[in-house]
């Protein structure tokens, strides 16, 4: 097994690095992780367990493969959504409607991969503030938020001004995953499709096999009624006004991805309180409050 959970990145070093966030006295959420290319996922999980032997661990962004391995270690799982994975051997841009959007986007900017340096790291942070959701509380700890040396950053730009940007990382040498999808608040129609078109061909030329566009939560409709998974997805669909998962699904689905299940895996009983703690530590609660206050035309201090 070599495909890491989506909250993990591969990098060129020999040390496994991860962050633990406490959701209760014993419950530890493992996130913001960097792992070596040469370590199998079994070795990574076993290393984390070795260093945290008395904790009830929680991993998010797990694939079916990750879930099955962790099940053998006594873990339970919650279906949390689905991940959109592009098979790079199959060209989604043969659809006329999608190709037309790419052509429209081509009029507004040129494609470039941005090299990692402190200046570009800062430039990305400044760009985030100008994006369509830049004024809102930002989701945290579910994916990378800052440009680091093991990431790749692609932009569509006009002159030196970025119009949209996508940051990706490595799951394996041949499998990429998306960390950030960003566009300028007033970006023209088609620019994001154009950027994905260019990245698709770039990765294809590099002989990568798959590219994950990331997960969409709350689109699991197969959970058993009143189960914990059903409860999470039910609540998630009720906060659509705060987190538009349906719009995100529609956008990613136009690229004809493979939709794979996406899980939270956890050791021992997971309480509803810990789920709410997870929402708090990911900043989702602040995003919900911000949107409620906005609809009421009230000011919400972040």
Same domain, 95 and 186: yes
Alpha-carbon distance of 89 to 210, in angstroms, equals 8
Same domain, 100 and 204: yes
Average pLDDT for 40-55: 94
Same domain, 72 and 98: no
Looking at residue 217, what is its pLDDT? 78
More confident residue, 138 or 63: 63
Q: How confident is the model at residue 251 (pLDDT cuts 50, 70, 90)?
A: very high
Give the CA distances from residue 229 to residues 31, 80, 224, 236, 243, in Å, rounded to whole numbers and listed in that order.
20, 7, 8, 11, 18
Q: How confident is the model at residue 79 (pLDDT cuts 50, 70, 90)?
A: confident
Looking at residue 296, what is its pLDDT? 56
- 302 within some domain: no
- 50 within some domain: yes
Q: CA gyration radius for the chain?
A: 19
Least confident stretch, 41-45, 148-152, 246-250: 246-250
Q: Where are the alpha helices (DSSP H) in 34-167?
A: 41-51, 64-71, 96-106, 118-129
Strand partners, 267: 75
The CATH number assigned to the domain holding 163 equals 3.40.630.30
Are 256 and 90 in contact by the 8 Å Cβ rule? The answer is yes
- 1 within some domain: no
CA nearest neighbour of 275 among 226, 230, 228? 228
- 17 within some domain: yes
Residue 280 has pLDDT above 90, yes or no: no
More confident residue, 249 or 151: 151
Alpha-carbon distance of 236 to 76, in angstroms, equals 20
Same domain, 29 and 174: no
Instruction: Examine the fold and report which residue of 152, 185, 212 is the final residue of a domain before the chain moves on.
Output: 212
Count structural domains, the chain.
2
Tokens of 297: 């035309």
For 41-160, strand residue ranges (E) read: 56-62, 75-87, 110-114, 152-158
Q: How confident is the model at residue 66 (pLDDT cuts 50, 70, 90)?
A: very high
Print the domain residue range for 184: 86-212
Q: How confident is the model at residue 160 (pLDDT cuts 50, 70, 90)?
A: confident
Strand partners, 132: none
Looking at residue 292, what is its pLDDT? 63
Residue 8 has pLDDT above 70, yes or no: yes
Tokens of 165: 């940007």
- 42 within some domain: yes
Same domain, 140 and 286: no
More confident residue, 165 or 129: 165
Instruction: Examine the fold and report which residue of 160, 191, 212 is the final residue of a domain before the chain moves on.
Output: 212
CA nearest neighbour of 203 among 158, 172, 236, 241? 172
Same domain, 208 and 104: yes
Same domain, 125 and 168: yes
Residue 138 has pLDDT above 80, yes or no: no
Give the pLDDT confidence of 188-247 residue by residue, as tens digits. 999 999 999 999 999 999 999 999 999 887 676 556 655 666 556 666 555 555 556 788
Same domain, 204 and 221: no
Same domain, 176 and 206: yes
Same domain, 271 and 167: no
Give the pLDDT confidence of 179-194 residue by residue, as tens digits. 999 998 888 999 999 9
Q: Would you give the DSSP letter of residue 187?
A: P
Residue 136: CB atoms within 10 A of its CB come to 17
CA nearest neighbour of 66 among 223, 296, 224, 265? 265
Alpha-carbon distance of 302 to 198, in angstroms, equals 36
Looking at residue 237, what is its pLDDT? 59
- 241 within some domain: yes
- 13 within some domain: yes
- 301 within some domain: no
Alpha-carbon distance of 87 to 255, in angstroms, equals 10
Same domain, 78 and 111: no
Same domain, 168 and 198: yes
Alpha-carbon distance of 172 to 1, in angstroms, equals 11
Average pLDDT for 60-70: 94
């Amino acid at each position: 097994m070599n495909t890491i959970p989506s909250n993990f990145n591969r990098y060129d070093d020999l040390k496994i690095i991860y962050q633990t966030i406490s959701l209760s006295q014993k419950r530890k959420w493992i996130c913001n992780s960097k792992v070596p290319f040469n370590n199998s996922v079994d070795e990574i999980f076993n290393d984390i367990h070795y260093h945290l032997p008395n904790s009830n661990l929680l991993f998010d962004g797990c694939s079916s493969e990750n879930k099955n391995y962790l099940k053998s270690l006594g873990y339970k799982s919650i279906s949390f959504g689905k991940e959109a994975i592009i098979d790079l051997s199959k060209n989604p841009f043969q659809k006329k409607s999608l190709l037309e959007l790419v052509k429209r986007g081509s009029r507004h900017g040129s494609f470039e991969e941005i090299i990692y340096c402190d200046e570009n790291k800062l430039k990305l942070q400044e760009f985030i503030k100008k994006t369509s959701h830049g004024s809102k509380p930002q989701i945290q700890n579910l994916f990378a938020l800052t440009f680091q040396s093991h990431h790749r950053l692609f932009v569509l730009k006009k002159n030196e001004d970025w119009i949209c940007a996508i940051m990706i990382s490595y799951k394996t040498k041949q499998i990429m995953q998306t960390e950030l999808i960003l566009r300028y608040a007033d970006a023209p129609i088609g620019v994001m499709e154009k950027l994905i078109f260019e990245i698709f061909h770039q990765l294809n030329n590099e002989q990568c096999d798959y590219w994950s566009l990331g997960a969409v939560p709350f689109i699991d409709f197969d959970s058993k009624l009143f189960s914990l998974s059903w409860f999470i997805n039910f609540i998630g669909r009720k906060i659509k006004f705060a987190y538009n998962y349906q719009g995100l699904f529609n956008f990613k689905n136009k690229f004809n991805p493979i939709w794979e299940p996406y899980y939270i895996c956890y050791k021992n009983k997971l309480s509803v309180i810990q789920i709410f703690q997870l929402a708090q530590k990911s900043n989702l609660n602040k995003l919900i409050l911000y949107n409620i206050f906005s609809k009421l035309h009230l000011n919400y201090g972040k």
